[in-house]
Amino acid sequence: MQKFDVDLFVIGAGSGGVRAARIAAGHGAKVKVAEEFRVGGTCVIRGCVPKKLFVYAARFAHEFADAAGFGWTVEGTRFDWPTLIANKDKEIARLEGAYGTNLDRSGVEVVRQRAVVEEPNVVRLADGTRVSARIILIATGGHPNLGLDMPGRELAITSNEIFNLARLPEAIVIQGAGYIALEFASLLAGLGAKVTVVHRGDKLLRGFDEEIRTRLAEELAQRGIDFAFGASIDGIYAEGGRKRVRINDGRDLFADEVMLAIGRTPNTTGLGLDKVGVHLTENGAITVDDTGRTNVPSIYAVGDVTDRVNLTPVAIREGHAFADSVFGGSPWSVNYDVIPTAVFTEPEIGTVGLTEEQARAQGRRLDIYKTDFRPLKATLSGSQSRTFMKLIVDQKDDRVIGMHLIGEAAGEMTQLAAVAMNVGATKADFDRTMALHPSSAEELVTLRGRHSSSDPIPEASAEATPAI
């Protein structure tokens, strides 16, 4: 039998690569992982984790405002961006250390340099070292798109840079309307920046439930975010320490920063994949089968580099399934049907399963249950923000096949509802579940009255007025 230096060489120590490496090592494999930037990958270093810390920071602004109606006098509040950045950096460094320690403890050797594929069973490191491996796993993630060339594109930042700006921008223009663009729009507005979102289309969050898309645009506008729909940035010009942003409708916007959040591209350029003949999709993602295997039998890929569902828990699951299947003797593959996800805007969105539009496109006959209410907290805080909830039920078997929420704690509710949906809960199961009162979540188990999408929603529904 051919001898290899290692059983598994993982390229990329992000969410998918770290999980795969640790599980494979646990199954007795000799594993090396190469990381060219920082262990932990996008999620830990410049994605989910620092972003959520920023979201927490921004939410204090609303909490301070809401507190007055409950009798509090909150005076002299002041936000200090450098403090947030320094504390965030400390936490990210701690997490990076913990990831490294866990890999060490699992017996995985971490090589802190870039690696590329040289042959179907050989990886070459930046220092020229060649390492042979029975299996190579590519878990290199993706990077932000910069879009088409335009004057001054180099003046724009992406999500990579926003986490380390020296100053909170007083004004920022963000191009894009996906979840990353909108989360930053929302949190920067919360921290006090004047935010303008420039978007080529006419609606936010493509792929989300239509009613949620509309509601979010209304809520963000109410919080002072400006939208330029049907527009794109034609050029960025440095002027007097600021940036003049030329919009294609001829308008000029002035801002301290311009952020491009127009999608991400898989990290496959220069990886040597063409040399060994690994198939890529048109946008450069690695094509894999259910087990993560590419068309080259010794090479697998997981996570964002395969551009399937680009979320951390999905990358982790794919890495785990790969390691169990290839090194643990117990093959399984990821179920992509019930993936809960949140958009950490203010208000927050939580969604799981099919949208109404997707379900109808599949020819299903649906019952739609929805409610739109002013949360109990808003009665004293005076906040105008409302909560909207929608359940999509398949008439065929009464199963809840989609849930879409916008309002406080939507993400937390969605995670638990996903458990029920994963085991095939029906609307009758939701109805049989005792309500927890007073909460927003209880609305999900007390929803009555089917709607077609165009029906108005009864006003009375609210946490404060339980159905009796």
Q: Which of residues 168-207 bind ligand FAD (CB under 6 A)?
A: 180
Q: What angle do CA 239, 242, 243 make, to 5 degrees?
A: 75
Helix, strand or coil for residue 354? coil
Would you say 128 or 241 has its CB closer to ligand FAD?
Answer: 128
Would you say 41 or 292 has its CB closer to ligand FAD?
Answer: 41
Q: Does residue 62 carry a catalytic annotation?
A: no
Q: Which of 6, 311, 441, 462 binds ligand FAD (CB under 6 A)?
A: 311
Determine, following the binding rule CB under 6 A, whether residue 17 of this chain makes contact with ligand FAD.
yes
Taking the complex as a whole, the smallest distance from the CB of residue 465 to ligand FAD amounts, in Å, to 33
Backbone angles phi, psi at 462, to 5 degrees: -165, 155
Q: Which of 121, 175, 312, 440 binds ligand FAD (CB under 6 A)?
A: 312
Taking the complex as a whole, the smallest distance from the CB of residue 334 to ligand FAD amounts, in Å, to 13
Determine, following the binding rule CB under 6 A, whether residue 350 of this chain makes contact with ligand FAD.
no
The one catalytic residue in 143, 199, 404, 437 is 437
Helix, strand or coil for residue 428? helix
Q: How far is CA 173 from the centre of its chain?
A: 21
Determine, following the binding rule CB under 6 A, whether residue 15 of this chain makes contact with ligand FAD.
yes
Q: Strand locations in 344-452, DSSP E?
A: 349-353, 366-373, 387-394, 400-406
Q: Which of 219, 304, 348, 372 binds ligand FAD (CB under 6 A)?
A: 304
Residues in Cβ contact with 248 at an 8 Å cutoff, skipping those fewer than 6 apart: 231, 232, 233, 234
In 3D, which of 300, 282, 283 has the Cα closest to residue 291? 300
Q: Which stretch binds ligand FAD (CB under 6 A): 202-210, 310-318, 352-360, 398-406?
A: 310-318
DSSP per-residue codes, 80-112: -HHHHHHHHHHHHHHHHHHHHHHHHHTTPEEE-
Determine, following the binding rule CB under 6 A, whether residue 140 of this chain makes contact with ligand FAD.
yes
Q: Which of 84, 121, 141, 351 binds ligand FAD (CB under 6 A)?
A: 141
Q: Which is it for strands 387-394 and 366-373: parallel, antiparallel or unpaired?
A: antiparallel
Q: Which of 6, 25, 29, 34 binds ligand FAD (CB under 6 A)?
A: 34
Q: Which stretch binds ligand FAD (CB under 6 A): 57-65, 66-74, 92-100, 109-117?
A: 109-117
Q: Which of residues 396-455 bind ligand FAD (CB under 6 A)?
A: none
**Contact at 8 Å (CB) between 245 and 255?**
yes
Q: Which stretch binds ligand FAD (CB under 6 A): 208-216, 306-314, 385-393, 446-454?
A: 306-314
Determine, following the binding rule CB under 6 A, whether residue 11 of this chain makes contact with ligand FAD.
yes
**Contact at 8 Å (CB) between 365 and 46?**
no
Taking the complex as a whole, the smallest distance from the CB of residue 105 to ligand FAD amounts, in Å, to 20
Taking the complex as a whole, the smallest distance from the CB of residue 40 to ligand FAD amounts, in Å, to 7
Determine, following the binding rule CB under 6 A, whether residue 51 of this chain makes contact with ligand FAD.
yes
Q: Which stretch binds ligand FAD (CB under 6 A): 33-41, 102-110, 145-153, 442-450?
A: 33-41
> Which sign does the torsion angle of CA 246, 251, 254, 255 carry?
negative
Would you say 117 or 171 has its CB closer to ligand FAD?
Answer: 117
**Contact at 8 Å (CB) between 339 and 352?**
yes
In 3D, which of 440, 436, 437, 342 has the Cα closest to residue 385? 440
Interatomic CA distance for residues 65 and 192, integer angstroms: 13
Q: Which of 7, 35, 209, 346 binds ligand FAD (CB under 6 A)?
A: 35
> Which residue is nearest to ligand FAD, using beta carbons?
14
Give per-residue burial for 434-453: e unless 16+ CB within 10 Å, then b: eeeeeebbbbbbbbeeebee
State both tokens at 179: 């979840």
Determine, following the binding rule CB under 6 A, whether residue 313 of this chain makes contact with ligand FAD.
yes
Q: Which of 175, 294, 310, 355 binds ligand FAD (CB under 6 A)?
A: 310
Q: What is the phi-psi region of residue 442: left when phi exceeds 0, alpha when psi lies from -120 to 50, beta otherwise?
A: alpha
Give contact residues for ligand FAD (rule: CB under 6 A). 11-17, 34-37, 41-43, 47-48, 51, 114-116, 139-141, 159, 180, 267, 271, 303-305, 310-313, 315
Catalytic residues: 437
